[in-house]
Amino acid sequence: NAGVMQNPRHLVRRRGQEARLRCSPMKGHSHVYWYRQLPEEGLKFMVYLQKENIIDESGMPKERFSAEFPKEGPSILRIQQVVRGDSAAYFCASSPFPRGHNQPQHFGDGTRLSIL
């Protein structure tokens, strides 16, 4: 059973470009969470999505960031007009149920975004 798949593993962008990060949840999981890890910091929650719905985006920056989880295909975290401060590791996690604490979130290996 494949785990949470994130791609690309490493992404380099120049300031002002767009970054698209993809996350395919574990099979049977319909809940996706995105977290950001800045250098020397812990992970910070960004957004929680179910298929075709954004449930909680309280951790998303107000501008330039968006996320989606379409009916078919992976979840996408999109960052427009990237700036140096966007350099971080972005992690995706999935779970089968919203309150499935007996089956906690499973994390992908992350996408390391570097802004030149």
User: What length does the chain have?
Assistant: 116
Report whether 6 contacts 23 (CB < 8 A): yes
**Using CB under 8 A, which of 35, 49, 60, 115 touches other proteins?**
35
Residue 59 vs 74, nearer CB to other proteins = 59
The order of strands in the sheet holding 19-24 is: 5-7, 19-24, 75-79, 65-68
Please report, for the chain, how many H helices and E strands are present, in that order: 0, 11
Binders in 54-113 for other proteins, by CB under 8 A: 55-56, 59, 91, 93, 95, 98-102, 104-110, 112
Per CB under 8 A, residues contacting other proteins are: 4, 6, 31, 33, 35, 41-45, 48, 55-56, 59, 91, 93, 95, 98-102, 104-110, 112
